[in-house]
Amino acid sequence: MTAIAAGRIRRAVTAWHCCLKFYSVATRLPEEFRLPPEDALRLIEEEVLGRFEVRQLPDQAREPFLRTLERERVVGGRVYDAHIAEIARIARAKAVVTDNRRHFSSLARDGIRVLSAEEFVRSSRLER
């Protein structure tokens, strides 16, 4: 986030689903860690909406995406990772940063790098 805030990352993109997931998780954590809805919203507004381009699947891509899920037998929680990967493809992302690299390995065929947060930080330092 520091590199994004400092403008060292020119075009940061995230999926709308990620905003919803953050809000959902942040507001249901155990009480000592849970954020009230207004704080979760403020974090999304200040740290995400103000710094990232937020994308979702275009209308015309939704049914083909569902058909791909069915054809490739993608089920359960992997659906959400497939959704994020498809948004990365459509956005022509250069990289996806995740700690769940295995679920994003299909992006390699589209020339999209899949990096852990540590790898991303190292590579962004090298590019400066």
Judge whether residue 124 has pLDDT over 80: no
CA–CA separation, 90 and 84 (whole Å): 10
Q: How many CA atoms lie within 13 A of 79 on its CB side?
A: 12
Interval 70-96 mean pLDDT: 95
Entry pTM: 0.81
Q: Is the pLDDT of residue 109 over 60?
A: yes
Q: What is the mean pLDDT of residues 97-108?
A: 92
The yes-or-no verdict on residue 56 having pLDDT over 70 is yes
- Cα–Cα distance between 78 and 67 in angstroms, integer? 15
Closest CA to 1 of 56, 53, 48: 48
Q: What are phi and psi of 110, to 5 degrees?
A: -100, 10
> What is d(CA 63, CA 23) in angstroms, rounded to the nearest whole number?
26
What rounded mean pLDDT belongs to the chain? 91
Q: How confident is the model at residue 7 (pLDDT cuts 50, 70, 90)?
A: low
